[in-house]
Each structure stands twice: as C-alpha cells, then as structure tokens.
Amino acid sequence: MYFEDPDYYESHQKDNIHYFIFLFKLEIYENYIYKLEELIENEVSTTERDVEERIALIPENKKEAIRSALYDIDHFHLKYSYPPLLRKSLFISIYSYLEIELNNICNEIKESKNLLLSVKDIKGNGIERAGTYLTKVVQIDTPFLTPLWKQVKSLNEIRNFFVHDNGDKVHSSQHKQLIASLKLFVPHIRLYEPNDGEYGIELEKEFCFIAIKTIKDFLKTVINSVLDAGIPLFKADADS
C-alpha cells in the first residue's frame, strides 16, 4: 500500500499532501478488496471443511454422491459466481476514480493558474479529455509518453467493454484492439475460448490490485510532472 512505501515519503516529503488528496481512496479500495476476497474464501473453506467432516466416515463409493448433495447453490455462487461479479464491479469503480481524480487535477490547475479554459471545454470525455487538457492547455505531456499511459488506456478499453457491451463475450473479429488490451494483463485476466473466435473473460483475484497499482503510479506521474513544472495544484500553493 502506498502509505507504507518508504520511497513515497523519501522522494516527495514536502508534497505528501498532494498525494494524500488525490490518491487516498485507493488504499480504501485495496483494503476493501482484501476484506471481501478474504470473506468469500473463508466462507467457501468453512463450507467445504464442514462437508468433508460430515462425510468422513461414509464409505468411499458413496462419498461423491453425498458430497454433491450437501453442497448447495449458495456454495456454488460463493465459489464461482460472486468473485467475478465482485471484481468486475470493483474494477469499474476503481477506474471511475481515476477519471474523477484526473478531472480534479485539471480543475485545481485551472483555479491555481487562473486559466480561461476548463477541462469541460475540451472535446471528448473521460481520460482522453483530461489528457488533452493537460498536454495542450497546461503543456504537461511527460505522463502521456510513458508505458503507464498505454496501460491506463488499455484499462479504459476493458472498462468500456464491461459497461457498454455487457462484458461477457469477446469476438476475435470485432474486438481485436480489446483483445490486445486484455492480453496485456494476462495472467491477471483469463481468456478462455468456448467457441471458435469467441472469448470469455474472467478477472483473476490479483487483477483489481494490478489496476490500482497502475492507476496509482500514473496519477503520481501526473502529479510529479505538474509539481516539477512549478505549477501549483492548489491556490494555497500559489500564495505560499
């Protein structure tokens, strides 16, 4: 977690307030994911242990039938249905946080520098609009020339697919760029091909943590570039 990262404090001791303001909720997301994944795993383990204890003394040739009968639909959902739904909804929320904080950075720069244009005046939406504002209006382009920007844009494609296209099936003929973005995060995203040319998607346990780290690192790069350019992020910075 970034608050426990010694490099975080060592490299930007005087600027901690900026990271705290723009990144603090990512730690909440991390803790939230840990807790929910742990709760599900513990519940599944408890159920499976209880079933195995109950059939321990049953003859081997009857165990499988009784085991199947004891496992109920709730156990199935806990093990196979809930984790993918949980990870997908959390990822969408985490990505929305990136868009919000990029816009907040743009808004703070506008206020601090008394700029005429706001990020809302720029064509487009989401991270692309914020990126255009920072590069064209503020003249900050370093963060958008890094591999992190490519990863963030890939996360954007994945997020849009989940939100706008239901996010269940990917067709190799229709979603070539999306498939490339998904493969960028393998093995944390699992692609399986039930039919020729059609992929299913499953987010693995670590994917949301990888998304958080990517977003955190990118936002830190943006903040660093703004501060290194001598641009205040808050009015108080400009007045001090």
Domain locations in the chain as residue ranges: 14-239
Lateral strand order in the sheet of 198-203: 169-171, 198-203, 189-195
Give every residue of the chain whose pLDDT is below 50, as ranges: 1-4, 6, 8-15
| The pLDDT of residue 154 | 95
CA 60 to chain centre: 45
Under 8 Å between Cβ of 26 and 215:
yes
Predicted pLDDT of residue 10: 45
pLDDT of residue 238: 62
DSSP state of 200: E
CA proximity to 159, closest of 103, 99, 235: 99
78, 88, 95: which is closest to 38 by C-alpha? 78
Q: E-strand spans in 67-187?
A: 169-171
pLDDT of residue 11: 47
Which positions ≥6 away from 237 have C-beta within 8 Å?
Answer: 112
Residue 79 has a pLDDT of 84
pTM to 2 decimals? 0.83
At 93 the pLDDT is: 95
Alpha carbons 62 and 161: distance in angstroms, whole number: 46
pLDDT in tens, 53-80: 888 888 888 888 888 887 888 888 888 8
Residue type at 34?
A: Y
Q: For residues 4 and 18, give the distance between their C-alpha atoms in angstroms, rounded to a whole number.
A: 16
Tokens of 31: 């803790």
Give first-to-last CA distance, the chain, whole Å: 31
Q: How far is CA 215 from CA 56, 85, 121, 152, 220, in A?
A: 48, 21, 24, 7, 9
How many Cα atoms occupy the beta-carbon half-sphere of 25 within 13 Å? 13
Helix (H, G, I), strand (E, B), or coil: what is residue 201? strand
Both tokens assigned to 80 = 């196979």
State residue 13's pLDDT score. Answer: 42
Assess contact for 144 and 135: CB atoms under 8 A: yes
